[in-house]
Chains A and B, each alone.
Chain A
């Protein structure tokens, strides 16, 4: 059975070859008054095209658009939702990268599509099904300051509903895959399970697109019984930072798929493709009935562009070996 390949999250924006469009330079020039917003938009599109081309050349089955226009993984969507103000820079978990902290200042409501135009543009550049990317409601809430709601449950219900509207808009635009990024679920304790259910249950139910619930940086062991009840299509596990994710494979419900996060997105050391293929074989041996994807552990944007590109090639090479060996 073929092991499909995909990336989790965003991708480095900088080019690796001289002469290519450089979004960073264009943004700097815009800030200096030497380029326009339109120039930046064009640079975003060209960067998206390059990110898709890198994946296409390598042979990634389900590419991502790389979130070229995003400043961080939270605020691009939060800015478009009603109810959020965007505040100061704060460190993003233990990554030594930053995000602007969203603050909830009034009721959270979906107002307009945040990501649909970017998705349409990316999909028009690729023959393959581009995976749309959204922050998961539970993590977006945990990354935010709540100055409005009296309790998390009500806030999460509204946030889940708002992101559900965005997901529906993406489906209407043709998205066949939607990725929800949920790093906080990998850190959650068992008493957080009701809140996670409140946020995700209505969001995932009845989706036309295949949904990926991706949990980087930790294993969702403490809340996995709750996750089992939710209607995601694929659970994304970070098996490098959280090898405990291996123990969850026997508990994955029948008929679902697992994205094996085995290409490490937070270290430059290149994996050996044959070693990774052996780990895929281990997963298949544990659950011969499941569909598996091979994935990066998290966003490749934690890496410099040259190393990210090498990791994409290694990802596909490992999947080919695994597919061949798997018959």
Chain B
């Protein structure tokens, strides 16, 4: 019997309202770092429990202790300063990294949280990192003479962290590069930087990229030096599959079936149809089923409702197609 269609998520989960409130209180100096971290640990355990209950095969820690996906890392790395608030949308603001000197990794960035999460579950927990190209592209740069110089220093630092996650026992290491798809002319730089970031890894390596100009970057995208590329399939109404018919997708794929930008809960039938279409051009053992992107912009209830439908749809397709876990 064929194996495949493992279920997972892209990484982030929404922060429960009480945690959002606690983060605000901490920012205003009204709550200690210890009290905030205690709540983050409680909520991380809860998000892992809920992933187990739903039946996801590979879980994540939910990144409830992170703010922005670049700033979290930059705050912990020499060479970065953090800007005053910059607006991301509406009334939402974040502090953006500024490269002001040589960027280095002086201490573990995520390993302790990964160990904590893995200790809560028997299922594999993915190690989650932000990739060097995206870290570079989403930061201000007052130090480096070129984008490449900054990306390659970041790649070295992220490689140290990835190796530390592997040493701690991580079997899956995801190095997200959502920025890759929007500057096709820089894909060779992204490939070079990611190769450095993933150098020496024996764990399964994954990168998530967001929807972009695939007419230009596919099939060159397959040059990304990882085992699995995680893609938004539902958001593009699965039109990427037509490209895969012309140029077969040769790696494992993180196959996004949930539109994370929509409040609507997908129906089981539409997810099943998306999976059936995928199985026309992909082998089951290539496919890891997940949402299109991180779920942090949904409400907690929406996020888990979407995942429940996803897992149920996968179960039925496995039965229909005779696919084992």
Which A residues are closer than 8 A to B by beta carbons?
Answer: 12-14, 24, 27-28, 31, 71-72, 87-91, 93-94, 96-101, 266-269, 301-307
Complex Cα distance A132/B118, Å?
54
The reply to whether B297 and A301 form a contact with Cβ atoms under 8 Å apart is: no
For B89, give its contact among A72, A93, A94, A306 (CB under 8 Å): A72
Inter-chain contact count A-B, CB under 8 Å? 75
The reply to whether B87 and A12 form a contact with Cβ atoms under 8 Å apart is: yes
The reply to whether A28 and B297 form a contact with Cβ atoms under 8 Å apart is: no
Given A96-B138, A267-B142, A304-B85 in contact, is the A28-B91 Cβ separation under 8 Å?
Answer: yes
Q: Smallest distance from the beta carbon of A272 to chain B beta carbons, Å?
A: 13
Q: Smallest distance from the beta carbon of B179 to chain A beta carbons, Å?
A: 6
For B84, give its contact among A13, A72, A269, A304 (CB under 8 Å): A304
Q: Does B88 contact A (CB under 8 A)?
A: yes
Cβ of A94: which chain B residues have Cβ within 8 Å of it? Answer: 137, 179, 182-183
Cβ of B138: which chain A residues have Cβ within 8 Å of it? Answer: 96
The reply to whether B210 and A91 form a contact with Cβ atoms under 8 Å apart is: yes
Which B residues are closer than 8 A to A by beta carbons?
Answer: 70, 83-93, 96, 98, 137-138, 140-142, 178-179, 182-183, 210, 259-263, 297
Contacts A/B (CB < 8 Å), 5 sampled: A12-B86, A13-B87, A14-B85, A72-B90, A94-B179
Nearest chain A residue, comparing its CB with the CB of B140: A268
Ranked nearest first, the 9 interchain pairs of A and B with the lowest CB-CB distance are A88-B261, A304-B84, A98-B89, A71-B90, A94-B182, A268-B140, A96-B138, A269-B142, A27-B91
Given A267-B141, A269-B140 in contact, is the A304-B183 Cβ separation under 8 Å?
Answer: no
Complex Cα distance A303/B98, Å?
11
The reply to whether B93 and A90 form a contact with Cβ atoms under 8 Å apart is: no
The reply to whether B261 and A301 form a contact with Cβ atoms under 8 Å apart is: no
Cβ of A306: which chain B residues have Cβ within 8 Å of it? Answer: 84
Given A269-B142, A301-B87 in contact, is the A88-B182 Cβ separation under 8 Å?
Answer: no
Given A87-B261, A88-B297, A269-B141 in contact, is the A93-B86 Cβ separation under 8 Å?
Answer: no
Cβ of A14: which chain B residues have Cβ within 8 Å of it? Answer: 84-85, 93
Given A305-B84, A307-B83 in contact, is the A71-B140 Cβ separation under 8 Å?
Answer: no
